[in-house]
Structure 1
Amino acid sequence: HALLMMLAVPGAIAGGVMFQYFFGYNFSVAVWVGYIACFGMATETGIIMLVYLRDAIHTRGGLEKIESLEELKKAVIEGAVHRLRPKLLTEGTAIIGLAPMLWAKGTGAEIMRPMAAPVMGGLLMSDEVIDIFLPVLFYHVEKYRWEKIHSVKPEKKC
């Protein structure tokens, strides 16, 4: 699960680079600080999503008690949906808080604008990665583990 947790970081990099390019900021210490903050927030969000996904499986008794892959899929969907609204509210609040920094004109704005751009872009992009790809990849990892526990041979595709 550690690799799944880090899945949000490439999404954060992509979003940060896009916003940095869009706003025309060169790499600087402020931009790097923004990337570090972005990576931390993206990793934290990925960890929380994984906690909810694992909790959904544990509330059904763990992989040993889950009878079918359909039940496993329902547990993963339940865990992902259960986490969606609080996650969107948290990230929406962060984005709304960062938006004024991008257009600030006062003292210190020349430092804050380049710092806010990668954070905002990274949050927007990593949010999609976490919401869409993380539950799907988690399902496939748990499906493999479920098949190993229940001694089911994976279907071969031609």
Structure 2
Amino acid sequence: VVAEKVKLPPGYWIGWGGQFEQLVSATKRLMIVVPVALLLVFLLLFMGMGSAADAALVFSGVPLALTGGVAALLLRDIPLSISAGVGFIALSGVAVLNGLVIIAFIERLRSEGRSVVDAVREGALTRLRPVLMTALVASLGFVPMALATGAGAEVQRPLATVVIGGIISSTMLTLLVLPALSVLFRRDAGTETPTMAPDLAASGER
């Protein structure tokens, strides 16, 4: 708007400083910090699980979590800011944690000799409550920040909004899409028929 409406004589120019200048420099840093943080998360998963395939499977929760964070910002008409970028980094950790809870349990069942379909079904049923508890604790804890209106609210709202929206979407992926991907990419040799075993039904009741 200034460039269109303010006509400067030759030899004059406009330079922006203060908070806007800090915002520009911080944005440039975030463009480096966020990819590096995501790469470190993947490397930690790889080191902990010992398999690039399992690490990629758990890391698949990050894209949908980031999508949920962006959607939440759009719904609340909040611009992307530095605090929102920090929220995306925190959100990635929560999304990976939820996926790790299920995948680690599924791999334990497979090491006991269960088929992929049976292990995925029992793992999803057994870990439903821990995943929901993790998501609820993290999201409800950010609700006061998301609704803040006092001093510092302009920093708190974007961060909390990103985390809450991303947790909702990542939880859906963890409970629905992640087990499906486990069956799709980790099939046993031969043909499987995904029938419900009696012991799995009993575990679901527990």
Which TM-score band (shorter chain)? 0.7 to 0.9
Task: Tell me the residue number matched to 1:105.
Answer: 149
Residue type of the alignment partner of 1:112: Q
> Which secondary structure does the structure 2 equivalent of 1:25 belong to?
coil
**Mapping 1:11-50, distance limit 5 Å:** 11-50=64-103
Task: Tell me the residue number matched to 2:51.
Answer: none
Q: Any gaps of 5 or more consecutive residues in structure 2?
A: 1-53, 193-206
> Which secondary structure does the structure 2 equivalent of 1:130 belong to?
helix
Residue type of the alignment partner of 1:136: A
**Cα distance in 1 for residues equivalent to 2:126 and 2:177:** 16
- The alignment covers a number of residue pairs equal to 139
Which structure has the bigger radius of gyration? 2
Residue 132 of structure 1 and its aligned partner are, at CA, apart by 0.5
Task: Tell me the residue number matched to 1:56.
Answer: 109
The alignment's C-alpha RMSD in Å is 1.7
2:124 to 73, 76, 80: 80
Runs ≥4 residues deviating over 3 A: none
**Cα distance in 1 for residues equivalent to 2:84 and 2:116:** 42
> Which secondary structure does the structure 1 equivalent of 2:151 belong to?
coil
Residue type of the alignment partner of 2:91: C
Contact 1:53 1:79 in 2 (8 A): yes
**Cα distance in 2 for residues equivalent to 1:153 and 1:137:** 17
Tell me the alpha carbon deviations over residues 100-144 of structure 1, each in whole angstroms, 9 at most, x when there is no partner. 11111222211100111111100000100111111111112221x
Q: Report the TM-score when normalising by structure 1.
A: 0.81
Tell me the alpha carbon deviations over residues 23-58 of structure 1, each in whole angstroms, 9 at most, x when there is no partner. 111111111001111111111211222101111212
Kindly, what percent of the aligned residue pairs are identical? Answer: 34
Residue type of the alignment partner of 1:92: L
**Cα distance in 2 for residues equivalent to 1:118 and 1:131:** 20
Tell me the alpha carbon deviations over residues 50-75 of structure 1, each in whole angstroms, 9 at most, x when there is no partner. 1011112123x3xxxx5xxxx43122
Q: Report the TM-score when normalising by structure 2.
A: 0.63
Residue type of the alignment partner of 1:108: G
**Cα distance in 2 for residues equivalent to 1:132 and 1:139:** 12
